[in-house]
Structure 1
Amino acid sequence: MNILLAGLITGILFGFFLQKGRVLRYDKQLGALRLKDFIIVKFMLSHIIVAMIGVYLLYDLGLVKLSIKPAIVGGVALGGLLFGVGWALLGYCPGTSLGALGEGRWDALWGILGMLVGAGLYAEAYPFMKATVLTWGNFGKITIPQALGINHWLVIGLVVAAAAYLLFIIEKHEQKEPAA
C-alpha cells in the first residue's frame, strides 16, 4: 500500500509541475514539435537530470533496486515511432493528455482513448512481436555505464554537462528571438 501511495503522490506532484511548467498547453506542444518553443525540452531535461541523480543516489545508498529492462532496438524504434506519430497527430503525449484533461481540455480524451486502444492492440500483437520485432537488436539487461565498463557517475556527469550546455544554448537562442 505504501508503494501505491508513494506512486500516487509522485504522480500528483509530476502533474502539478507539468501544469505549472505550462507544458500541458497545446501551443507549447505544437511549438516543441515545430522546434519553435523549447519550454518542453527545458522541462524534460531538468526532470531527467534530477531523476537520474536521484535514482542513482538512492541506488548507491541501498534504498532502491534497479529494475533494468532489456535494451531491444526493434521495440524502442517501433515504440518511439508510434509515440511520435501519436504526439504529432494529437498534440499531446500520454502524460500531458491526462494533465490537459485535468485542466478541462476535452480533446485530450482522444489521447487517452488512443493509449487504451494502443495498449489493447499491443497485447494482441505481443505473441507475434515477441518472436519478431522484440528480438531485433536485443542487447539484454544492460545500462550505458555497464556497456562502456565505467562508473555510472561518470555517465551521469557527462549527461548533466551535456544537458546544461544544451539548456545554456537554448537560453541564448531564446534571448535573441523577438517576442511573438
Structure 2
Amino acid sequence: MTSQLIYGLVTGILFGFFLQRGQVLRYDKQIGALRLMDMTILKFMLTAIFVGCVGIYLLNDLGLAKLSIKSTVLGATIIGGLIFGIGWGLLGYCPGTSMGAIGEGRWDGLWGLLGMVAGAAVYAESYPLMKRTVLTWGNLGKITLPGILGINHWIVVIVFVLAGIGLFYWFEKKNL
C-alpha cells in the first residue's frame, strides 16, 4: 500500500514536471488549444495517452497489472464533458494545469481548485438523484474498442499510435 502511494507521488511529480517543461501550463497555450490554433496541449496529452495505453496493456499482458474496465455511460460522459469544457473555456485551465499553475505561483489557478472542490461537493450531494437518472442514460456496459471489434488489443493500440504519429506530423507541417 505504501509503495503504491510512493509510486503515485513520484508519477504525479514527474507528470507535473513534464507539464511545466512542455509549456502546457501557460495560459496562451491553453487558449491556443481552445481556439484550435496551437496543438501543444493536444500533442502532450496524446503522447501521455499513447504511452499510458502501451504501458497499461503491456503490464496487463505481463500479469503485472489488472485492467478494471468501467461501464460506458453516455449521459454521464456527455454531461461531464460539457461541464469540463465550459470550466476549461471560462478559466483557461483544465484541472491538472490549474494545479500546475498554482505550483508555478499563478494564483488564478486557485479558481480551478475551487471549481474542483465545488464540483466534487455538488456531485456528492446530487449523486443519489444522478444514480437513478444521468448515470443510467445510455449505459453500454463494460465495453472496449478491441472487444467491440473482436480483435486483439495490440492491433487497436498500434493503429492508434500510428494515427497519432501521422497527426503529429500533420500538425508540424501546418505549424500548429
Q: Per the shorter chain, which TM-score range? A: over 0.9
| 1:159 and 2:160 are equivalent in the alignment | yes
Q: Which amino acid aligns with 2:173?
A: K
Q: Identify the residue that residue 107 of structure 2 maps to in structure 1.
A: 106
- Figure out how many residues of one structure are paired with residues of the other and give that number: 175
TM-score by length of 1: 0.95
Q: Identify the residue that residue 41 of structure 1 maps to in structure 2.
A: 42
Q: Which amino acid aligns with 1:12?
A: I
CA distance in 2 between counterparts of 1:144 and 1:125 reads 31
User: CA shift at 1:58, angstroms?
Assistant: 0.5
Q: Which amino acid aligns with 1:77?
A: I
| 1:6 and 2:2 are equivalent in the alignment | no
CA distance in 1 between counterparts of 2:111 and 2:58 reads 38
CA distance in 1 between counterparts of 2:171 and 2:54 reads 22
Aligned-pair identity in percent equals 63
CA distance in 1 between counterparts of 2:81 and 2:7 reads 28
Task: Give a deviation string over 1:136-161, Cα, whole Å, max 9, x none.
Answer: 11111121111221110011011111
Q: Identify the residue that residue 123 of structure 2 maps to in structure 1.
A: 122
User: CA shift at 1:67, angstroms?
Assistant: 1.2
3-state SS of paired residue (1:37):
coil
User: CA shift at 1:45, angstroms?
Assistant: 1.1
CA distance in 2 between counterparts of 1:122 and 1:34 reads 29
User: CA shift at 1:50, angstroms?
Assistant: 0.7
3-state SS of paired residue (1:41):
helix
Structure 2 residue ranges without an equivalent (≥5): none
Task: Give a deviation string over 1:1-20, Cα, whole Å, max 9, x none.
Answer: 11111100000000000000
CA distance in 1 between counterparts of 2:143 and 2:69 reads 7
Task: Give a deviation string over 1:78-100, Cα, whole Å, max 9, x none.
Answer: 11001000000000000000000
Q: Which amino acid aligns with 1:40?
A: I
Runs of 4+ in 1 over 6 A off after TM superposition: none
CA distance in 1 between counterparts of 2:38 and 2:80 reads 24
Moved more, 43-52 or 92-101: 43-52
Q: Identify the residue that residue 72 of structure 2 maps to in structure 1.
A: 71
CA distance in 2 between counterparts of 1:44 and 1:78 reads 21
Supply the RMSD in Å over aligned alpha carbons. 0.9
Q: Which amino acid aligns with 1:55?
A: I
CA distance in 1 between counterparts of 2:72 and 2:12 reads 26
CA distance in 1 between counterparts of 2:150 and 2:125 reads 38
CA distance in 2 between counterparts of 1:130 and 1:64 reads 29
CA distance in 1 between counterparts of 2:73 and 2:6 reads 31
